[in-house]
A and B are shown apart, each in its own frame.
Chain A
């Protein structure tokens, strides 16, 4: 039975690529509605594969994805209207200007022309993006491209925003503005799913955190419980940080290496 309190549910997702790499190994997790959900893991842990499966860009070998309790297996694409994506890949339609692209995306999400124009103007101003059509997106810096991608993901005010490393390559002021925007959207009912490997940001910014390791869920808990959980796992009375917990769960079993010449 789907839990109505969860906006996103993944059940036993498995994915092995043709190369033999097993990206997901029975991943099961639930994202509570209205939460800012941090999805962390090492490079290659399966974060991007998970996001691509949710987006329908990669098919899982087995397992199900549910958005708002509805399985995506039926091939219905209407669920995409409720989601905004910021993927790790280069921005699509990068031959357009930021303004053209945002207006176009707004219209494709079904916004009326005037509303799409209005939101575009506001987003361009908010993210300090050029309001003219003189420069195509492909000439933008990495940070600017990320901002356009994020603006496109939120132009239709989605219920769920899925972001893959959203703050990578973005300056401090823009990152701060983005975090404030996402927090505001979460407070107004949107759910935010952030895949990242920047633990500091996740610990301070997210309300719930999940650690992915070798394609499996190693831990999921509210951020407020991290100190206590870390204490229990590390056998420490004073608790511990997310970084300590992460290192223990992910690298605990590995042999620590050292450089002989250092």
Chain B
């Protein structure tokens, strides 16, 4: 199954890329931020760090290393399956990073989150991740940068990702905290997943298919 092969490759690269070391300062930052009492929940810090750290996987997934896109373009694969595979890998990486950073951040914070808080964190991810994937898909190919590292473009992209995560968090804040309508939040999550799968992925695949040569010129 092509999608699974793509997922495997993305995960393998995730664990091998030398920049994985960036998670050390990011996790420390999440732990420190988690100590701030006005934040409300340590999960807020964990979510911020997770999304900022995974920005390349969300937005720049066609250009993770030089020649990445062209390497796929030479193979007889449908872009639909490639985009879906890359998005699925991002979901797994998000779950993994969120879990690991949570454990590490919680190990240094004095307060233990309640069961409700943890359930809400899971609901938050279910609502926000499809929105961020759809946003990343809309930008993929249009704003690609070849490879990612520690450069100005990466810092700007991380900031952009942070702002996007803030905006995508609004439905959760409104539905869960302001209106206390968990059922509506669940419905919203289902709608977001549906739109990601049925609109965002095919639309992105079509765009990449139509603009393969242009995307290959990404500097």
Contact = CB atoms under 8 A, between A and B. Distances in A.
Interface residues of B, number: 27
Given A104-B5, A104-B9, A57 B70 contact: yes
Given A57-B73, A77-B77, A85-B74, A92 B213 contact: no
Contacts of B214: 59
Nearest to A107: B5
A81 interface: yes
A77 B76 CA distance: 5
B90 to A, nearest CB: 18
Nearest to B67: A92
B13 A90 contact: no
Contacts, number: 67
Binding site secondary structure of chain A: loop
Contacts of B2: 108
B17 interface: yes
Given A59-B214, A92-B67, A93-B71, A75 B76 contact: no
Contacts of A96: 12
B149 interface: no
Nearest to B216: A57
A126 interface: no
A105 B217 CA distance: 23
Between B12, B66, B68, B76, the greatest number of chain A beta carbons within 10 A of the residue's beta carbon is seen for B76
A108 B73 contact: no
A216 B75 CA distance: 29
Nearest to B18: A95
B209 interface: yes
Interface string A51-82: 01001111100000000000000010111110
A109 interface: yes
B23 interface: no
B211 to A, nearest CB: 9
A109 B75 contact: yes
Contacts of B148: none
A56 B13 CA distance: 26
Given A92-B71, A95-B17, A104-B9, A78 B216 contact: no
B15 to A, nearest CB: 11
B213 A77 contact: no
Contact of A90 (B66, B77, B79): B66
B109 interface: no
A91 interface: yes
Interface string B16-40: 1100000000000000000000000
B160 interface: no
A110 to B, nearest CB: 8
Contacts of B217: 58
Given A92-B68, A95-B17, A58 B9 contact: no
Contacts of A85: 74
B210 to A, nearest CB: 7
Contacts of A237: none
Nearest to A55: B74
Contacts of B212: 56-57
A241 B212 CA distance: 41
Contacts of A95: 13, 16-17, 65
Given A57-B216, A59-B213, A81 B70 contact: no
B182 interface: no
Nearest to B16: A95
A171 interface: no
Nearest to A78: B76
7 contacts: A57-B216, A77-B76, A77-B77, A81-B76, A93-B67, A93-B68, A96-B12
Given A77-B77, A92-B67, A93-B67, 7 more contacts: A58-B217, A59-B214, A75-B209, A80-B74, A91-B67, A93-B71, A110-B76
Interface of B: 2, 5, 9, 12-13, 16-17, 65-68, 70-71, 73-79, 209-210, 212-214, 216-217
